[in-house]
Amino acid sequence: MASTPAQHAPDRAPFGLRLPDYPWDAMAPYQATAAKHPDGVVNLSIGTPVDPTPALIQDALVAAADAPGYPTTHGTPALRQAIVDWFARRRNVPGLNPDDVMPTVGSKELVAWLPMLLGLGAGDVVVRPTVAYPTYDMGAVFAGATAVAADNLDELDADTRARVRLVWVNSPGNPTGIVRNVDALSAIVAQAREMGAVVASDECYGELGWGEWDPENGGEAVPSVLDPRVTGGSTDGLLAVYSLSKQSNVAGYRAAFVAGDSAIMANLVNSRKHAGMIVPYPVQEAMRVALGDDAHVSAQKALYRNRREQLVGALEAFGLQIHHSEAGLYLWCTAGEDTWTTIGRLAELGIVAGPGTFYGEAGNGFIRVALTGSDERIAATVQRLTVNS
């Protein structure tokens, strides 16, 4: 009797990458505690938009729904021109070539795949902020490279500096809300160019500056890495990544884009053509319309501004200190105690926040509170925090 192939299969590890457990799974018991609150749970742990997608964007999606053919990886000429116009109008980045922009399937996938698409591998170093979105590390893992946490390239030893191929900048930062000004960005760009490294700037919260970074209240716009004051007039070695998820409430559309260095962009477009990484045509049309309308962005920001002002006072009354948080959708807070102690105390009030430990060792003792609750849920949060302060 013939033996089956399985009887002769060699011993081997299961297929699949050996990645750390998805961190948010650790929140299950705290979410269960919060869910028992008689007035319902308030989940401010993940920054997913809750307000309606603006009607003009929905209408654009519907109007483009008859799309029987394959879309273009590079993006339609009309979309790429809309991205270029948006950079000039909203980000102080004039004169971009439409060839040097491309839509992506949300920004997270680009963050995760960029090291591999740039050809990084074993021995190469990816630098990311000390407190950072975990996907920067995952991108290095997928490429077989090494992720190193540093907020300043001067912190790196000589051996590490020699192996740096990619430097991630996240301004405004997630979760900290830190904004890097023009001088800080310029310094990073100059050092990275000396090393021969690419600077990729994750700028997804660029429209959501507060205080001194809020143009609608007399402040300055958050600078882009492609701003001529930063680049010295050349985009060589630079990429800017942006998402419409937050400013336009289209997280479900997976609508984002990347722009920058001509040679790198041409390579990214070609690689993504081979891989079939394409934004659907109806989403491209929705993006085009969204990027041409500033009114809905301003209206959404006004909602977040109001929610932020309410939460700041309530969190401080509850005994939390807010650090940084100059921009973005989060408040980076500490009660001077272990992260999980604070998470547990909030869960008892029916409030779910994000643990700072999910963003690196430097996040110990901190929590992240998102502004992405409805007005009613934000009011409930404020009431619970105030009563228990």
Q: What is the mean pLDDT of residues 34-47?
A: 92
Where in the sequence is the domain holding 221, given as residue range(s)?
55-292
Q: Which of 255, 277, 292 is the last residue of a domain?
A: 292
Residue 370 host element (H or E): strand 366-370
- Using CA atoms in the order 360, 174, 104, 240, what is the torsion angle rounded to 10 degrees? -100
- 119: CATH: 3.40.640.10
Q: Decide if pLDDT at 249 tops 80.
A: yes
Q: What is the mean pLDDT of residues 164-171?
A: 97
pLDDT band at 105 (very low <50, low <70, confident <90, very high): very high
Q: Are residues 172 and 277 in the same domain?
A: yes
Q: What is the mean pLDDT of residues 368-389?
A: 94
* Amino acid at position 145, single letter: A
Residue 13 belongs to some domain of the structure: no
Q: Which residue is it, tokens 């491309």?
A: 102
Residue 297 host element (H or E): helix 295-317
Q: What is the mean pLDDT of residues 15-24?
A: 65
Q: Are residues 354 and 312 in the same domain?
A: yes
Residue 345 belongs to some domain of the structure: yes
Q: Which of 292, 321, 350 is the last residue of a domain?
A: 292
Q: What is the mean pLDDT of residues 193-218?
A: 96
186 near 230, Cβ under 8 Å? yes
Question: pLDDT value at position 27?
Answer: 86
Q: Decide if pLDDT at 3 tops 50.
A: no
Window from 4-18, 193-207, 231-245 with minimum mean pLDDT: 4-18
Higher pLDDT, 147 or 20: 147
Q: What is the pTM of this model?
A: 0.91
Question: pLDDT value at position 24?
Answer: 66
Tokens of 166: 């990619």
Q: Which of 273, 292, 311 is the last residue of a domain?
A: 292
Higher pLDDT, 389 or 271: 271
Higher pLDDT, 176 or 7: 176
Q: What is the mean pLDDT of residues 81-97?
A: 97
Separation of alpha carbons 184 and 189, rounded Å: 9
Residue 6 belongs to some domain of the structure: no
203 near 161, Cβ under 8 Å? no
Best mean pLDDT range from 4-8, 12-16, 328-332: 328-332
Residue 14 belongs to some domain of the structure: no
Q: Are residues 180 and 205 in the same domain?
A: yes
pLDDT band at 26 (very low <50, low <70, confident <90, very high): confident
Q: Are residues 242 and 345 in the same domain?
A: no
- 348: CATH: 3.90.1150.10
Measuring CA to CA, how many Å separate 57 from each of 25, 106, 283?
Answer: 33, 16, 9
* Amino acid at position 317, single letter: A
Q: Are residues 286 and 146 in the same domain?
A: yes
Please tell me what DSSP assigns to residue 387. H
Q: Domain count for the chain, please give it.
A: 2
Q: Are residues 336 and 366 in the same domain?
A: yes
Residue 2 belongs to some domain of the structure: no
Residue 337 belongs to some domain of the structure: yes
Q: Are residues 74 and 215 in the same domain?
A: yes
Q: Are residues 255 and 277 in the same domain?
A: yes
* Amino acid at position 152, single letter: N
Q: Are residues 235 and 275 in the same domain?
A: yes
Tokens of 298: 């301003």
Residue 271 belongs to some domain of the structure: yes
Q: Are residues 119 and 222 in the same domain?
A: yes
pLDDT band at 343 (very low <50, low <70, confident <90, very high): very high
Q: What is the mean pLDDT of residues 139-152?
A: 95
Separation of alpha carbons 181 and 230, rounded Å: 9
Q: Are residues 108 and 31 in the same domain?
A: no
pLDDT digits (tens, 9 = 90+) for 293-316: 999 999 999 999 999 999 999 999
Q: Are residues 249 and 324 in the same domain?
A: no
Q: What is the mean pLDDT of residues 188-213?
A: 96
Separation of alpha carbons 10 and 303, rounded Å: 59
48 near 372, Cβ under 8 Å? yes
Q: Decide if pLDDT at 17 tops 80.
A: no
The CB density around residue 106, as the number of other CB atoms within 10 Å, is: 20
* Amino acid at position 135, single letter: T
Please tell me what DSSP assigns to residue 95. -
Residue 63 belongs to some domain of the structure: yes
Q: What are the beta bridge partners of residue 366?
A: 334
For every residue of 203-268, DSSP letters joined together read -TTTT-B-GGG-GGGT-PPPPPTTSHHHHTT--TTEEEEEESHHHHT-GGG-EEEEEE-HHHHHHH
Question: pLDDT value at position 389?
Answer: 77
Q: Decide if pLDDT at 31 tops 50.
A: yes
With 0-12 CB in 10 A as exposed, 13-18 as middle and 19+ as buried, what is 145? buried
